[in-house]
Amino acid sequence: MILVTGATGLVGSYLLFELLRAGEPVRALLHNRNSLIHTRQIFNSLGTDAETLINQVEWVEGDVLDYFSLLDAMKGVQKVYHCAAIVSFDPRDRNQMMKVNVDGTANVVNAALEAGIEKLCHVSSIASLGRTENSNIIDEKSQFRTSAYNSMYSLSKFAGEREVWRGTAEGLKAVIVNPSVILGYGNPDKGSTKLFQTIYRNSLFYGQGVNGFVDVQDVARVMVGLMESRVVNERFVVSAGDFSYRDIFTMIAKAYGKEEPRYPVPAFALDIVWRLEWLRSKLTGRRPLITRETARTSKGNFSYNTAKLHCTLNYVYTPMEKTISRTCRLIMEDIEKSRKGNS
């Protein structure tokens, strides 16, 4: 039996699909039943009958912050995929994000040790590897250093990883994946899908930085590959390549049939925009479209070395153009359905 935490999130949903398609028995920790709507949408987008797949999963109520619910969920389980996490750059989420990403991971590790789990896969992030203004190529050996380019999210994922390493010192077998910016079709209000929505509304501007990007399906498949391998107590950068934000925004605009971005956003303008967004958020209670942390990251130029994963799995990534084309098509289909439903 396999247990998946965060199973209704972006990575978790695609991971469920991969495991179920392989005929694996899967149990999933369910914190919020309403989040199943996005898992259904993802399953349907993959050309499957969502209800059939969802009914194949053994759903158990639980929370990574509830240690005893984790112990109950791990009964009879051999492998655990820990995908549950909060990804946010909004200062209002910091306390809860630290609890879930750090304390929640500590609970998963401790429960796995107590339950005698054979192997754990922890979903971390390239953000946990540490970034500075003068970063060279970042890989698995990079050491986290305090820097303005490292957000509270970065710190939470770094601290979460330390809980996993602590678990390995106590006898747990684990692998850690460090994905770059994950792109794919999913909840339009969370993660990278918000980027697609933003460019759909305005495609003329672009950030001047460079970052790593990867297809969500590739992340899920790499996780399964590493869990089925003999590799233990290692971490792996998972990234299809380094792309400028202009290149990514251009591919998205083309897929939407919109005008390509033409205007770079200068650093001083980003500093003005995040402050205006902070004020708007304070006055309206709505989430800011850009924060000080995201503005800072969008100006950085970060490169990642994925040679370790290539040598281990010889994995071939999905071309980014294909990922973006598929995601844009599915989003446009949703927009069209919404229009018809309102007409």
> The domain that contains 172 carries what CATH number?
3.40.50.720
In a domain, 340, yes or no: no
In a domain, 271, yes or no: no
Residue 192 domain flag: no
Please, which pLDDT band fits residue 291 given cuts at 50, 70 and 90? low
Residues forming beta bridges with residue 2, ordered by sequence position: 26, 79
Q: What is the pLDDT of residue 132?
A: 56
Q: Assess contact for 237 and 305: CB atoms under 8 A.
A: yes
Distance in angstroms (rounded) separating the CA atoms of residues 313 and 52? 31
3-state SS class at 269: helix
Asked whether residue 78 is assigned to any structural domain, the reply reads yes
Domain annotation covers residue 193: no
d(Cα 281, Cα 218) in Å, to the nearest integer? 35
How far is it, in rounded angstroms, from Cα 30 to Cα 60? 6
> Domain total for the chain?
1
**Is residue 282 assigned to a domain?**
no
Per-residue pLDDT, 273: 66
pLDDT at residue number 195: 82
* pLDDT of amino acid 225: 96
What pLDDT sits at residue 26?
A: 97
Question: What is the DSSP secondary-structure string of 234-256?
Answer: EEEEE-SEEEEHHHHHHHHHHHH
Backbone angles phi, psi at 210, to 5 degrees: -135, 140
Q: Report the alpha-carbon distance of residue 247 to residue 251 in Å, rounded.
A: 6
Task: Please give the distance of CA 47 from its chain centroid, rounded to a whole number.
Answer: 22
Quote the tokens at residue 189: 């209000």
Closest to 74 in 3D by CA, of 103, 105, 109, 34: 109
pLDDT at residue 294, as a whole number: 66
Please check the confidence at residue 307 and state whether its pLDDT lies above 80. Answer: yes
pLDDT tens sequence across 204-231: 777 778 899 999 999 999 999 999 999 9
6-59 pLDDT, tens digit per residue, is: 999 999 999 999 999 999 999 999 988 888 988 999 999 998 888 999 999 999
Amino acid at 263: Y
The reply to whether 292 falls in a domain is no
Cα(112)–Cα(97) distance, integer angstroms: 21
Q: How far is 13 from 293, CA to CA, in rounded Å?
A: 27
261 assigned to some structural domain = no
Tokens of 88: 């946010």
pLDDT digits (tens, 9 = 90+) for 320-335: 999 999 999 999 988 8
The position carrying tokens 């460019």 is 199
Report the chain's mean pLDDT, rounded to a whole number: 87
pLDDT at 264 (0 to 100): 73
For 136-194, write each residue's pLDDT tens digit. Answer: 788 888 877 766 667 888 889 999 999 999 999 999 999 999 999 999 998 877 777 77
For residues 264-280, average pLDDT = 70
Q: Residue 62: its pLDDT value, please?
A: 93
Domain range enclosing 80: 2-183+212-243+303-319
